[in-house]
Structure 1
Amino acid sequence: MTHRYNWRRLFCLCLALMLLLTTGAMAAENDASSRQEDLDFLYETLSTYHPNLFANTPESVFLERKAEIEQRLGTVSDVEFAMDLQSLTALAGDSHTSLALGGSLAEQMHFYPMALTWMDGKWYLSAAESSSLLGRQVTAINGRTMDQVVESFRRLLSADNGVKLRRQYRQSCNVAEFYDYVGIAEQGRPLTLTFSDGASLSLQAVDTEALSQMTVSRLSDRRSAEPETAAANAYYWSKFLKDGSYYIQYNICQEDPELPMETFAGQVWSDLDAQPVQRVILDLRNNGGGSDGVIWPLFEVLADSGAQLICLIGESTFSSGIINAVELQEMGAVLLGEETSGSVSHFGSVKSFSLPGSGLRGGMSSKYIDLNTLLDAGAGRQVIPLAPDVAVPQTLDDYLSGKDSCVEYLYAHPERLSQAEHPDAPLTRGRFLGQIHQAAEPLFEAGTASDGSWDDPPFTDLLGIEWFRHPLNWAHQSGVAKGNGDGTFSAARILTWQEAAVFLVRSAGALGLEPETVRTSPLPAALAAPGWAERELNQAWAWGLLPEDGDFTASPTRAQGLSMAEALLS
């Protein structure tokens, strides 16, 4: 089906999605002094107020780029100057720090009549004048591979990981001035798309007025249906799926003024109380962020539901949506879907600013959110995309037939799914006690050791949703874990070998175990050096609980923690 469609609206919308709309306009005259004021203000604002502007790019590179821009102040167009400023901002390598283009600038720009989409690891033509070309895989543009094209856009687009860069390219892939700026297509010359079958399509850039008069065919018009889990225009909603599982779509980290989260969470509780399920699916694939604390009433309901939690993530999961996804992993949820454009640890908490001359607006991170140290599930993960435990990409065939590839996978796999192990990730204090407790389950089931009660978390710094919250209760009640002396425990702190030895020896006593001495060799010097927990270190070493070939100059890993817990109970 072919539609008369407003191309101008479509592509200006793409530009607005990639960037914030500006309320100001570039000065009509080529005012070099005003531009110098904007350039100085932008650099001084970023370098003064960003928490670590030079984390990814040395200050010398920023200054070199600023000097290059200064040489062009009196000769470039308004659009080129705006892109110069954007390229300076992009050096931060921070997805939350960017300069806005839009408003009157969009009226001066040119666009290629096409759109691209990314599915299942491939680029496809998703909008064009010719309907016969839709859905074809695009492998190159002007002789550059798609990977090379996307990478070239890093000069203009603010991104802290490759998925975010790819997403921002997709949202701006029709802007002719961008291709000219990064050296892929000269202004006035065609842009040639190459398809996987060797065919090609040459496109000429047009202004917004000509674009609005074109007839467009869209890939979405070929869909035979929409899945029941299609993104809805709602903050959050829920329903039972045909396999009996319970599905929740959470699209924005904001409170719905007409349906407060407390009320919604109560509705979910009522649904699950009336019809218990084996699996709850929480969909964050459309969630671009907001306030990460909004969802907590729902978390409390899900933590007590008894159902396995599945969290769906994808390219659009970003910012506070990432934080909530990692918190769900902390609850024991399995992440399913595709890598996110948001990074696990990242700069965020955006503050806005406006340039004095042009009125262009920007957003800038005000703090670093380090989930690597805040949550066990984030341990060892720095500024990288959040990867699913089970990778399930949306396929083009499923898209066209109206199927949600992730949900179809879950229909085909009713068994209980597992989180990815990440054996080399650093071991936290909370996880190690969880591993010991899991290894001791046969003793609890046999009644030869006390499992403790399910009281409220004993330490004040616990969230109360952690998958290891009951093991921490047991450890506290049995004297294995005594905390930091101020009522806290620091469950997400990386475990030391000394702490591992203390927890192992105390657990042996709490579980009524009497391990045999299997080693007489002296304690390795690297373990003895810190000079504390000497008794527990020697005992755990003699019992063979600490790895004989371990690198004791590095922190224990998850795999080593599991091995130590199993050795204690063997």
Structure 2
Amino acid sequence: MKNLLFLAALLLFWQVPAQQMFTNSQWQEDLRFLQHTVHKDYPFLFKKTTAKAFDEAIEEFYKAIPEMQDHEVLVGFGRIIAMFKYGHTRVSFSESPVPYQQLPLNIYQYKDGTYINGAHKDYEALVGAKILEVEDKPINQVLEAIYPVVPAENEQFFKAYGGFYLVVPEVLHAQRVTETLKNKIAFTLEKNGKTFTTEVAAGKPQHDHLEYGEIRPGTDWAGARDQTNNPLYLKNLEKIYYFEYLPNEKAVYVRHSQIQDDPSENIPAFYKRLFEFIDNNEVEKLVLDVRLNGGGNNYKNKPIVTGIIEHQKINQTGKFFVIIGRRTFSACQNLVNELDNYTNAIFVGEPTAENINFYGDNRRVELPNSKLPVYLSFAWWQDKPQWENADYTVPHLAVEPTFTEYSANEDPVLETALSFSADNFIIDPMGYLTQLFMDGKYEFLATEAQRMVQDPAYKFFNFEAEFNKAGYQMLGSGQFEGALYVFEMNTKLFPESANAWDSLAEGYWKSGDLVKAKEYYNKAIQLDPDGPTGDNARRMLSEMEGGN
């Protein structure tokens, strides 16, 4: 009987919002402590946000605390830290003194929608369902609402980890997806051609059912696919790395999912064995799969990079492929950078979850009253020049898996690498298009640019930004005719981009054609009336008129 009473009390603890654990003044003191600590010891984190924006958010949060419950304050700290947009810089929910609940669902964003790809067996019937709404709100609106809480390095990081926040009722309430803190959350789902609404009850957070974000076999959770017939990237998940020979393709496949030594064989020994196999067998391709690799110790990357450099047999364009994705992060981003710098790798899949250059290696900062742990990064990792920094590494060959492919254990990413043909493949799109410009092949350049922009293989290549950059480089060196050609081509390729029209306007202004400059600034305002590009266009028009 005592055990039953204890169990009932435990369930009640997770289902009923706790009373206020800390006073308003204690939370406000903690907030000031955090603000002071960041300014004093971590001012270098102000790269993607400004100290001014940070302080303004602090003041707004400080004033709101008296009207908040503890869980709302917890999420509020999450929002503040997420402003830095570095995945290593975060508030630890799992170590928080404020209890929170979790829906027993594993949620993943695919190319064809957001799906429940795993659930506790109590909700097994929901596995494989596409999420249409949460609490009568469209799923895209809900994802947008929780985004500010996630310490998202980029959109890929959010795709990888946003689902963990989506299943926390405290986050849903704090971000006003729900009007009150609720134990049961309503989902509108679609499965097998039918649409239905159901409620899912939250309970104690669970984490031991996952392995690299996948449902671990042998747990009381159900997954969306047959785990007895795994694709290569989901085989042997109990190992950090393994390799397999694919005789039909004369290829070696390697999955490497942490930058750490496997207990059974360290990294140098594993790659020594791998390269010996390549040397002694009929191998024409090497595929290194790091799409699940969230990092580790980047000092362990050397044997991988040097081994590939030394093996000309596979270190050739079209023979060495690296699969990257939304979980490629931290020390694995360093590996990707080094492979990009020093090898002939072709990257396949989705962009990485990490900036090319980034802040990592955090320190735990414990807030004095609540003891809430906040992790603040202190180490700047720069493998590439600052002008080559970007939100992520872009794959040369873009492949976004669908839920249909995932649930059928298909791997279109690996298939793309294995079936690669050099025919009509351009590894450096801007280098290729720039050469066409230099050769004076303007009509062909326009045709090729249009073709490549529409080709899904180049989906993640930011043609608009690259053309804009090229235009400004010519404009800065006085090549007005060339700059205007590039800016105009950008508006044809991206006619709904306010920024493209704003740049074209500036090109005409600096080349002396004020009539066209005004026309295109007004076009930019029309496309972005309330945004930063529209504001800039209005300032430029005002400056032009003042100058006249």
Shorter-chain TM-score range: 0.5 to 0.7
Cα deviation 1:178-218 (Å, max 9, x = unaligned): 11111111225563333456723232544439999xx9763
Mapped partners of 1:241, 1:525: distance in 2: 51
**1:155 counterpart SS class:** helix
What is the one-letter code of the residue matched to 1:254? Q
Name 2:195's counterpart in structure 1: 199
Q: Please say if 1:313 is aligned against 2:309.
A: no
How far residue 389 of structure 1 moved from its aligned partner, in angstroms, is 0.9
Letter in 2 for 1:259: E
What is the CA-CA distance between 1:253 and the residue it aligns to? 1.6
Q: 1:395–1:251: structure 2 CA closer, same or farther, 3 Å change rule?
A: same
1:462-501 correspondence runs (5 A): none
SS at match of 1:111: coil
Residue in 2 that maps onto 1:86 = 78
Taking structure 1 as the reference length, what is the TM-score of the superposition? 0.63
1:52 alignment counterpart: 44
Aligned residue for 1:154? 147
1:202 maps to a residue whose letter is: T
Specify whether residues 310 and 526 from structure 1 end up closer, same or farther in structure 2 by C-alpha distance, changes over 3 A only: closer
| Most deviating of 34-43 and 68-77 | 68-77
Preserved contact between residue 51 and residue 365 of structure 1 (Cα < 8 Å): no
Counterpart Cα distance in 1 of 2:283 and 2:207: 51
Query: What SS does the aligned partner of 2:238 have?
Result: coil
- Name the residue aligned to 2:493: none
2:20 touches 2:69 (CA, 8 Å); kept in 1? Answer: no
What CA distance in whole angstroms lies between the structure 2 residues aligned with 1:263 and 1:80? 49
Higher-RCO chain (CA-CA 8 Å, sequence separation at least 6): 1
The residue matched to 2:60 in structure 1 has which SS? helix
CA distance in 2: counterparts of 1:165 and 1:64, whole angstroms: 24
2:103 aligns with: 112
Structure 1 residue 234 displacement after superposition: 2.6
- Render the CA deviation track for 1:74-108: whole Å, top value 9, x for unaligned: 564432322222222122222221111124657x3
Deviation at 1:421, TM superposition (A): 1.6
Q: Which amino acid counterpart does residue 163 of structure 2 have in structure 1?
A: R
Which sits farther off after the overlay, 285-294 or 135-144?
A: 135-144
**1:392 positional shift:** 1.9
Match of 2:308 among 302, 312, 321: 302
Pair 1:356 & 2:368 matched: yes
Quick check: 1:290 aligned with 2:296?
yes
Structure-2 change in CA distance of 1:406 and 1:265 (3 Å): same
Could you tell me the TM-score, scaled by structure 2's length? 0.65
TM-aligned CA deviation for residue 283 of structure 1: 1.0
C-alpha spacing 1:258/1:110, structure 2 compared with 1 (3 Å): closer
* CA–CA distance in structure 1, aligned partners of residues 77 and 56 of structure 2: 13
Q: Is the 8 A contact 2:321 2:417 kept in 1?
A: no
Tell me the SS of whatever aligns to 1:166.
helix
Greater helix percent: which structure? 2
Residue 395 of structure 1 deviates from its aligned partner by 3.1
Indicate which of 108, 115, 136 corresponds to 1:124.
115
- Paired letter, 2:199: L
Alignment of 1:496-535 (within 5 A): none
Residue identity in the other structure for 1:200: F
Q: Tell me how many residue pairs correspond in the alignment.
A: 408
Separation in 2 of the partners of 1:143 and 1:54? 37
1:236 equivalent in alignment to 2:241: yes
Structure number with bigger Rg: 1
Q: What CA RMSD, in Å, does the superposition of the two structures yield over aligned residues?
A: 3.8
Counterpart residue identity of residue 48, structure 2:
N
CA distance in 1 between partners of 2:129 and 2:205 (Å)? 28
CA distance in 1, matches of 2:363, 2:303: 27
Distance change (3 Å), C-alpha of 1:253 and 1:29: same
1:324 matched residue in structure 2:
335
Contact 2:252-2:285 at 8 Å conserved across structures:
yes
Which residue number in structure 1 is paired with residue 354 of structure 2? 342
- Cα distance change on mapping 1:42 and 1:104 into 2, 3 Å: closer
Q: Secondary structure at the match of 1:229?
A: helix
Deviation at 1:336, TM superposition (A): 0.6
Cα distance in 2 for partners of 1:127, 1:260 equals 32
SS of residue matched to 2:275: helix
1:401 corresponding residue in structure 2: 408
Aligned CA distance change for structure 1 residues 286 and 277 (closer, same or farther; 3 Å)? same
The residue number in structure 1 matching 2:57 is 65
Give ranges in structure 2 of 5+ residues lacking alignment: 1-17, 209-218, 435-469, 487-548
Q: Separation in 1 of the partners of 2:308 and 2:19?
A: 53
How far did 1:164 drift?
Answer: 1.3
Which of the residues 219, 222, 226 maps onto 2:223?
A: 219
**Equivalences for 1:369-384 in 2 at 5 Å?**
369-373=381-385, 380-382=388-390, 384=391
Q: Alpha-carbon deviation of 1:140?
A: 3.0
Long gaps (5+) in structure 1: 1-25, 428-495, 497-523, 530-546, 555-570
Which letter maps to 1:150?
A: L
Q: Deviations over 1:242-286 (max 9, x none)?
A: 432112222112244653333223212211111141111111111
Range that drifts further, 152-161 or 45-54: 45-54
Residues 345-385 of structure 1, C-alpha deviations (whole Å, 9 max, x = no match): 322232332222222222212144344507xxxx6442x13
Preserved contact between residue 252 and residue 286 of structure 2 (Cα < 8 Å): yes
Matched with 1:172 is 165
- What is the 5 A alignment of 1:429-448? none
Aligned with 1:388: secondary structure?
Answer: coil
CA contact (8 A) 1:346 1:370 kept: yes
Encode CA deviations 1:480-534: one digit per residue, 9 max, x unaligned: xxxxxxxxxxxxxxxx9xxxxxxxxxxxxxxxxxxxxxxxxxxx9987x9xxxxx
Q: What do residues 41-99 of structure 1 show as CA deviations (whole Å, max 9, x unaligned)?
A: 22222223335333333333322332333335556443232222222212222222111
Q: In 2, are the aligned partners of 1:79 and 1:105 still within 8 Å (CA)?
A: no
